[in-house]
């Protein structure tokens, strides 16, 4: 596999607050990489910086070997980066199919179309002509991921896939995601649910207070190690 994304020493701020601190990692083509951590750890801010919707204060982002640190968000979409943001942000008065087709306007060359998306997310098939505002949370999440796929991304950024959804609905969404992973889609997943993240990711990184405090391949990390990093238990023990 070849490197697709590289983040080097990234710093991202919200005004005076530094949300991301000196974060570095790489993602290979076809890999699923999960970022886990509690609320406020900096995960979503990091994703927005990679997508180009939040300008970093320092560091660099490389995509496909090109430095895209200063590239605007719309050009990153055309380069192959698609973000599914927390909260989905669908067009509420458009139908499912219309939401998908709107995204196609910014697409790069590729094979994804409406029928392909509905095949991957069968729970949407009966709702393709319903307004997005009328969908359940799980259906909206599926539509948001499908909308991103319509741009034919090389890298899919998924922010908090399971947030606010019932477990049975999360199961359905993750089953559909499994087909994307099996098909070789490169995914950077932000997730608070450790079980979900550890179940699908090739590699996992845990963020705490804006920093990556643990990183490794799924089989090399124990759940106990990830849990300790997630809650900062080792740091507390070291300073006690």
pLDDT tens figures, 6-60: 999 999 999 989 999 999 999 999 999 999 998 889 999 999 999 999 999 999 9
Q: Which residues contact 183 (CB under 8 A, 6 or more apart)?
A: none
Judged by phi (left if over 0) then psi (alpha if -120 to 50, else beta), residue 15 lies in left
Counting Cα atoms < 13 Å in the Cβ hemisphere of 58 gives: 9
Average pLDDT score over residue span 174-199:
90
| Exposed / middle / buried, residue 85 (Cβ in 10 Å: 0-12, 13-18, 19+) | middle
Question: CB count, 10 Å around CB of 61?
Answer: 22
Nearest 5°: the CA angle 121, 96, 174 is 25
Hey, what are 131's tokens? 């307004």
Average pLDDT score over residue span 102-109:
81
Q: Is the pLDDT of residue 219 over 90?
A: no
Element (H, E) at 6: strand 3-14
Among 83, 76, 92, 53, smallest CA distance to 157 is for 83
For residues 81 and 98, is the Cβ–Cβ distance under 8 A? no
CATH of the domain at 194: 3.40.50.300
Q: Report how far apart, in Å, the C-alpha atoms of 200 and of each of 114, 127, 214 are.
A: 25, 27, 18
**pLDDT per position as a tens digit, 125-181:** 999 999 999 999 889 999 999 999 999 999 999 998 888 888 888 888 888 888 899
Q: Compute the 3-state secondary structure of the chain and give helix, strand, coil in percent, each to the nearest 5.
A: 40, 30, 30
Hey, what are 154's tokens? 């090389």
Q: Is the pLDDT of residue 239 over 80?
A: no
Confidence of residue 123 (pLDDT cuts 50, 70, 90): confident
Q: How far is residue 34's CA from residue 170's CA, in Å, rounded to a whole number?
A: 16
Regarding predicted confidence, which is higher, 108 or 134? 134
Structural domain including 88 reads: 3-239
Element (H, E) at 140: helix 137-149
Question: CB count, 10 Å around CB of 204?
Answer: 25
Name the domain count of the chain.
1
What sign has the CA pseudo-torsion 120, 126, 128, 168?
A: negative
Q: How far is residue 107's CA from residue 104's CA, in Å, rounded to a whole number?
A: 5
pLDDT of residue 240: 42
């Amino acid at each position: 596999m070849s490197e697709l994304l590289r983040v080097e020493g990234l710093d991202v701020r919200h005004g005076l607050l530094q949300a991301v601190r000196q974060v570095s990692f790489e993602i290979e083509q076809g890999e699923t990489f999960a970022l886990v951590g509690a609320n406020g750890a900096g995960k979503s801010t990091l994703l927005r910086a990679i997508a180009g919707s939040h300008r970093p204060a320092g560091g660099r982002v490389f995509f496909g070997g090109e430095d895209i640190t200063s590239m605007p968000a719309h050009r990153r979409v055309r380069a192959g980066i698609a973000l599914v943001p927390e909260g989905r942000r669908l067009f509420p008065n458009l139908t499912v199919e219309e939401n998908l087709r709107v995204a196609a306007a910014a697409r790069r060359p590729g094979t994804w179309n409406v029928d392909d998306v509905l095949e991957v997310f069968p729970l949407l098939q009966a709702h393709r002509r319903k307004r997005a505002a009328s969908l359940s949370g799980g259906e909206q999440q599926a539509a948001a991921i499908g909308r991103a796929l319509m741009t034919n991304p090389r890298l899919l950024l998924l922010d908090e896939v399971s947030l606010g959804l019932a477990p049975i609905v999360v199961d359905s969404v993750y089953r559909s995601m499994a087909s994307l992973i099996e098909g070789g889609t490169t995914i950077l997943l932000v997730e608070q649910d450790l079980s979900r993240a550890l179940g699908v990711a090739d590699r996992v990184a845990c963020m705490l207070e804006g920093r990556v405090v643990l990183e490794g391949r799924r089989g090399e990390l124990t759940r106990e190690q990830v849990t300790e990093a997630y809650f900062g238990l080792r740091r507390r023990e070291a300073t006690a």
